[in-house]
Amino acid sequence: MKLTSWLRFAATVAAVWLALAAPQASSAQTQPIPLLAYYYIWFDPGSWDRAKSDLPLLGRYSSSDAEVMRQHVRWARDVGIEGFIVSWKSTDILNTRLDTLVDIAADEGFHLAIIYQGLDFERNPLPPEQVAADLESFLRQYGSHPVFQLFGKPLLIWSGTWEFSPEEVALVASRLPGEFLLLASERRVDEYEGLAQWVDGNAYYWSSVDPVGTPGYEGKLAEMGEAVHRSGGLWIAPAAPGFDARLIGGSRVIDRNDGDTLRRQMAAALASAPDAVGLISWNEFSENSHVEPSRNFGTRYLEVLAELEGGQVPEIPGFDSDEPAETVGSLDPARLAPFLFLGSLMVGSLAILVWRRVRRSSEEKRRDQGTGIGDQESGAGDRGSGAGRPT
């Protein structure tokens, strides 16, 4: 091995070791690197009946619910997440949801970026003309909006660039108006370098990596970071708490190890000298890479993030983090409705009144629920290579 390779390897190992050896230290104090979480707005109430082994503490929500979005933003901000990377493509319902999220982010002083879903349901590339038209539309509407100015200009990650030729990427990039940052989503240095002249960097969506059992994992991130910076680009390194996509056809499982997997992946991401860390994910429940408070894990992964980022763990009424979490398999659906309404009930109310109010509210909610985009949820499957496959 060449001397320079040895030095790079030693530096990577040392950085990872130091990060793991001092988990109580705030990375927000020692590493002024933004933490951005991938965020999905695909959910309707019926989505939670498909391929889910965990459920949010907020219940079977719709991504059209503005109060759910606001709660997500506040919880994320509390623990040290600086913004969401929103999974998006141009449809009527997703455009409406994005509008709502933009307004909420502006109210809450929170940043947003976009990961554009460039592949269809079958993982085939969309026509380059459609990609260009969608991104043009986004930039016309939001190109100067403050919530998208974390890096001084809007950040657009193009998910699925590995399925497009350099000529197609060049075509799309040349059609986009104004100033923006267009990032590829490549997984190999040579593939990124083939696109480097047409993009402004790279965001690697690697959700299924085993930080212990994957040979050369840290080095691969470091090499990608070096290649991106060598071309003058922006590098967003991935970090995930775990992975399990078996219910959507995958086979790979990465155990969370009570937060140790997330700590290791955050350390490796930071060791690659990123311009931002892309946390995979806030609410990708089909791949079980979520950190959103849930029935199985409670607030555990917000606790880990707060520890790493110097933030605060939010208090969630009606949930005791010291109690063991329940699995979806043992969860009685009737217990979800009380969670949604307990906060509004008087503590001293009689048990029979509480039961009647929750039952009545639950029945009304079921009558009022409609359907939206149905099966369009996010997920990269077992590949762990890109966000946004509808399931």
Residue 384, Cβ neighbours under 10 Å: how many? 23
Q: Grade residue 14 by pLDDT with cuts at 50, 70 and 90.
A: very low
Q: What digits encode the pLDDT tens for the residues 340-361?
A: 444 443 434 444 343 344 344 4
- Cα distance between residue 90 and residue 92, in whole Å: 7
Pairwise pLDDT comparison (391 vs 319), residue with the higher score: 319
Q: E strands of the chain, at which residues? A: 35-40, 83-88, 111-117, 155-159, 181-183, 201-203, 234-239, 243-244, 253-254, 276-279
Task: Pinpoint the alpha helices (H) of 46-127.
Answer: 66-79, 92-108
- Does residue 339 surpass a pLDDT of 80? no
| For the chain, the helix, strand and coil percentages under 3-state DSSP, each to the nearest 5 | 45, 15, 40
**Helices 166-175 and 128-142 sit at what angle, rounded to 10 degrees?**
30
End-to-end CA distance of the chain: 44
Place of tokens 């208090």: 315
Give me the numbers of helices (H) and strands (E) for the chain, helices first please: 12, 10
- Cα distance between residue 280 and residue 207, in whole Å: 6
Strands 253-254 and 243-244: antiparallel
Q: What digits encode the pLDDT tens for the residues 266-314?
A: 999 999 999 999 999 999 999 999 999 999 999 999 999 999 999 999 9
Give, in order, the Cα–Cα distances in Å from 297 to each of 76, 110, 317. 16, 25, 16
* 278, 36 contact by CB (below 8 A): yes
Q: What digits encode the pLDDT tens for the residues 183-230?
A: 999 999 999 999 999 999 999 999 999 999 999 999 999 999 999 999
* 281, 205 contact by CB (below 8 A): no
- Provide mean pLDDT across the span 321-331: 40
**Residues linked to residue 37 through DSSP beta bridges, in sequence order:** 84, 279
Residue type, 322: D
Cis peptide before 281 (omega within 30 of 0): yes
Q: Grade residue 378 by pLDDT with cuts at 50, 70 and 90.
A: very low
Task: For residue 255, give the H/E element and its range.
Answer: none
- Cα distance between residue 362 and residue 136, in whole Å: 42
Pairwise pLDDT comparison (319 vs 32), residue with the higher score: 32
Q: Where does the chain hold its CATH 3.20.20.80 domain(s)?
A: 10-321
Fold of 10-321: TIM Barrel (3.20.20)
